[in-house]
Copies of this chain bind each other. A is one copy, B any other.
Amino acid sequence: MRQSQLFSKTIKEAPTDEKSINAQFLIRGGFVDKLFAGVYSFLPLGRRVIKKIENIIREEINAIGGQEIYMPALHPIENYKKTGREKIDILFYTDLRTGVKLVLGQSHEEVVVPLMQKFILSYKDLPKAVYQFQTKFRNELRAKSGILRGREFLMKDLYSFHASEEDLNEYYEKAKKAYNNIFARCGLGDKTYLTFASGGTFSKYSHEFQTLTGAGEDIIYICDKCRVAVNKEIIEEAKHQCLGCGNKNLKEKKAIEVGNIFKLKTKFSEAFDLSVLDKEGNKKTVIMGCYGIGLSRLMGTIVEVYNDEKGIIWPEEVAPFKAHLILLIGKDKKGQSKIAKAADSLYDELAEKGIEVLYDDREEKSAGEKFADADLIGIPYRVVISEKTIEKGSAEIKKRNEEKVELIKLKKVLEYF
């Protein structure tokens, strides 16, 4: 994409009401725009990052047998009365003109269970797993931390249905692995800990995936030996020991919850009487698990982990573009047409080979402004074409996360990527 065409622009001054690094850089870089606290628009660069994250999640969840669906955001309040959640404080309420009361989906158990009830008729229909990418609405009293805690945000929610607890346990382990793959592909593998959390009423423990960063709102206690952690809620109960290996030398860290997995067991299936007859003809309530990842929170976490004073440093698989091609024409316009022609050709060549390039062809910007924008936006490879590089028949390539600058012959750039 030509940057001269891109409607979003970088912004010099960060908005004063946005304290978090993620919001500062994402707004300044033109990734998102704040409509009001906790509610953001995603601009072309931000939309591309979200799509990259979405595709990674889709691949990994498809690989564990998830079937993609899309459920509504408007939910009948009647369904929430059945689960006793009709008054939880994060609900948004609205009404049909006919007077029927509705809530906005803050999660989808109240919709997915009656839906699956229409198709799960026998133990032979189990196990099944369905998921979606869908907006969640949560009426947070205070929305802060940029896109980490939204009042409206995109979430992947997966629900699994089983004939037995053993089967749920087996799927739960698969989901753990899929989650590890997802966070690794998003560049967070090293920093993300499987964390024991309270299971509430459903099971002894649930698990959170917590990513270490100073911007985290959560406190977790990590075990270096087995790379698991315990969250603050249950550290007392765990007697300050690692629940993996018993290690007592846990380290207190700040972290962001980037995902969670729950054994719901029969809490929601009982509420709707989702049951099947087993082989012996006995009625059995279906056992459930649920597995969530907030996509915008994940995007914000990546920014919190990967940045420097100049801007964002996107991991390659989630970057909005792979390369940022920068055309530099001197103030004297010397060699202008030759330089521009070389940059245009390289842009076309890379695009043709399917390499995603943001091409900074803007005429009115100085070299300093273009470099500052490139650092702020944080695309992994910066490719500069200027009078100086063209003299050598080359482009200058620099990785966003390294200081080293390489001169690469124009004919070899494609090979480089």
Interface centre among A44, A119, A120, A128 (most CB of B within 10 A): A119
Given contacts A42-B70, A125-B7, contact A35 B76 (CB under 8 A): yes
Contact at A98–B35, with CB atoms within 8 Å? no
Would you give the shortest CB distance from A144 to chain B, in whole angstroms? Answer: 13
A93 within 8 Å of B (CB atoms): yes
Instruction: Find A71's partner among B7, B41, B44, B97 (CB 8 Å cutoff).
Output: B41
Tell me the bound Cα distance from A128 to B253 in angstroms. Answer: 46
Query: How many chain A residues touch the partner (CB < 8 A)?
Result: 55
| Contact flag A94-B104 (CB < 8 Å), given A39-B74, A119-B7 | yes
- Interface residues of A: mostly helix, strand, loop or mixed? mixed
Indicate which residue in B74, B94, B118 contacts A93 across the interface (CB closer than 8 Å): B94
On whether the beta carbons of B96 and A40 are closer than 8 Å, the reply is: no
Query: Are B76 and A36 in contact (CB-based, < 8 A)?
Result: yes
Q: Indicate if the CB atoms of A67 and B7 lie closer than 8 Å.
A: yes
- Known interface pairs A9-B119, A116-B7; A41-B72 also in contact (CB < 8 Å): yes
A184 within 8 A of B: no
B152–A72 touching, CB < 8 Å: yes
Q: How far is the CB of A37 from chain B (nearest CB, A)?
A: 9
Given the complex of chains A and B, what is the CA–CA distance between A50 and B5 in angstroms? Answer: 29
CB–CB A115/B68 < 8 A: no
Give A116's nearest chain B residue, CB to CB.
Answer: B7
Interface status of A92 (Cβ within 8 A of chain B):
yes
A47-B70, A71-B41 known; A120+B7 contact, CB < 8 A = yes
Residues from chain B with a CB closer than 8 A to the CB of A67 are 5-7, 44
Cβ contacts under 8 Å, A75 to chain B: 35
Report A10-46 CB contacts with B as 1/0, cut-off 8 Å: 0000000000000000000000010110011111101
Q: Does any Cβ of B come within 8 Å of A73's Cβ?
A: yes
Q: Are A89 and B97 in contact (CB under 8 A)?
A: yes
Tell me if A178 is interfacial: C-beta within 8 Å of chain B: no
Is A107 an interface position by the 8 A CB rule?
Answer: no
Cα separation A2 to B92 with both chains bound (whole Å) = 39
Cβ A33 vs Cβ B70 within 8 A: no
Q: Which residues of B contact A50 (CB under 8 A)?
A: 70
Contact A97 B141 (CB under 8 A): yes
Output the nearest chain B residue to A8 by Cβ-Cβ distance.
Answer: B119
A47 touches B68 (CB 8 A): yes
- Please give me the residue from chain B that is nearest to A129 by CB atom: B7
Interface residues of A in 76-105 (CB under 8 A from B): 76, 89, 92-98, 100, 102, 104
Total identical chains: 2
Would A41 and B6 be within 8 Å (CB), given that A68-B47, A141-B98, A151-B96 are in contact?
A: no
**Contact of A65 with B by CB under 8 A:** yes
A337 to chain B, nearest CB (A): 22
> Which residue, A6, A39, A74, has most C-beta atoms of chain B within 10 A?
A74
Q: Which chain A residues numbered 136 to 159 have a C-beta less than 8 Å away from chain B? A: 137, 139-141, 151-152
**Contact flag A73-B7 (CB < 8 Å), given A68-B47, A98-B141, A141-B98:** no
A57 contacts B by Cβ under 8 Å: no
Assuming the contacts A33-B115, A72-B35, asked whether A94 and B97 have C-beta atoms less than 8 A apart, the reply is no
In the bound complex, CA of A104 to CA of B97 (Å): 14
| A130 on the B face (CB < 8 A) | yes
Q: Say if the beta carbon of A111 comes within 8 Å of chain B.
A: yes
Q: Which 7 A-B pairs have the closest CB atoms?
A: A42-B70, A41-B71, A7-B128, A94-B94, A39-B72, A92-B94, A44-B67
Can you name 18 A-B pairs with beta carbons within 8 Å? A6-B67, A7-B116, A35-B111, A40-B72, A41-B70, A41-B71, A43-B69, A44-B67, A46-B70, A47-B69, A50-B70, A73-B152, A74-B92, A74-B137, A92-B94, A96-B151, A97-B139, A104-B104
Taking A6-B67, A7-B120, A74-B137 as given, write out 5 further A-B residue pairs in contact, using a Cβ cutoff of 8 Å, ordered by the A residue number: A39-B72, A73-B137, A74-B92, A74-B151, A89-B97
